[in-house]
Amino acid sequence: MIPIAKPYLTTEEAHAAYDTILTGWITQGPKVEEFERKFASYVGTKYAVALSNCTAALHLALIVAEIGSGDEVICPSLSYIATANAIRYVGATPIFAEVEPESYNLDPADTEKRITSKTSAILLVHQIGMPANIESFKNLCQKYNLKLIEDAACAAGSSYQNSKIGIHSDLVCFSFHPRKVITTGDGGMITTNRKDYEQRLKLLRQHGMSISDRERHQNSKIVFEDHLELAYNYRMTDIQAAVGIKQLEKLDWIVQERRKIAKIYHERLKELDFIRLPDEKEGYFSNYQSYSIYLKDNSPLTRNALMQQLLDHGIATRRGIMTSHRETAYKYLEGVNLPVSEDLQDNSILLPIYVPMTDREIDYVIDSILKSFKNISDKPVYTTNFQQPEL
């Protein structure tokens, strides 16, 4: 079976975790601080705050941005459900806007149409690693006095206008889930240039404690902590951070390798006029966290039929990005009209992409796609000898 994805982890990460365990400092401590410092340096921001996962990051970002009950936050429905859920966590209302079919990211024009007197923020997603049009949304936020928060769960290592994702807004949230480009097993990070945000985020992630565990343990005098406000247990462990530090060292190389795979997909599939491939515009640099193809109306196969054909060949795929408004948890919404988002979910396929993915595995995925179409088409689209490799 060729998987849809797998993390790139080596003995370096294993040794880093092992060494950290032997220090006796297991929970949030010096390794977390080191990971935060190095991630901020990589992105180019003053601060980074490590958390237990990206959903926690989105939740706390909305809190420090002072989004709450009665507020509306515009976001895409075409995103993992955590995007919309985080808005509901703070008592606000997610307002779903349409996306651009080529980028899978929020459409600025449709977003502006949905701004009301209750709108307080835009939660902008960089879907599957492709940067969104940040400048357009910054302009919208300035025009209507809104907060901009970036859901960069998939975008570590991506860039917009020659700057890393993570530096363009006051609150940018990342994920280190195993499906992402780098992983800590699970984990999240918020980058910011605002000291007040950094301090509040660190308070909120650790039960609102007035002094950290590390400060208390290292103090030469007795210190008693106070809990300053209702807060959360969203800490990252030092074991995770130790793995993250090693992963971060490899991030640019991993992105480079993923882009090589994406380029091969591009070159081999571009002649199929019934498939739309990812569109990376000038000034946009994707880490290709996922590689999505869209089947047009003239496709000889439906999305589900192609997925089944590939599964029969031992190749795992996934449907297009989910539309949150069609999930059971959002059935209470009425009158949501998002034909582009629904069409993308219903007719897109995520293909396998991971490091290291061998040339043989890449060729086998592509050859299997071509053979699937050849088998139901009078016009040959596959011209080489098809042979399943030994994997």
Counts for the chain of helices (H) and strands (E), in that order: 12, 14
pLDDT of residue 210: 76
Q: Where in the chain is the domain with CATH 3.40.640.10?
A: 11-249
In contact, 377 and 305? CB cutoff 8 Å:
no
Q: Where in the chain is the domain with CATH 3.90.1150.10?
A: 252-374
Cα atoms found within 13 Å of the Cα of residue 91, Cβ hemisphere only: 6
- Pairing state between β 318-319 and 284-285: unpaired
Locate 237 and state its tokens. Answer: 């462990």
Sole residue written with tokens 């995007």: 83
How sure is the predictor about 384, in pLDDT bands with cuts at 50, 70 and 90?
very low
- Report pLDDT digits (tens) over 152-202: 999 999 999 999 999 999 999 999 999 999 999 999 999 999 999 999 999
Output Rg (C-alpha) for the chain, integer angstroms: 22
CA gap 114, 97 in Å, rounded: 7
Phi, psi of 218 (to 5 degrees): -90, -5
pLDDT of residue 220: 66
Looking at the predicted structure, is the pLDDT value of residue 385 above 50? no
- Report pLDDT digits (tens) over 257-292: 999 999 999 999 999 999 999 999 999 999 999 999
DSSP annotation of 356 reads: S
Locate 233 and state its tokens. Answer: 């247990």
CATH fold of 11-249 reads Aspartate Aminotransferase; domain 2 (3.40.640)
- Report pLDDT digits (tens) over 71-115: 999 999 999 999 999 999 999 999 999 999 999 999 999 999 999
What CATH class is the domain 252-374? alpha beta
| Contacts with 143 (C-beta within 8 Å, 6 or more apart), sequence order | none
For the chain, give the mean pLDDT: 94
Mean pLDDT check: name the lowest of 63-72, 208-217, 279-288, 343-352: 208-217
CA gap 134, 136 in Å, rounded: 6
Locate 230 and state its tokens. Answer: 């209702």
CA gap 52, 205 in Å, rounded: 9
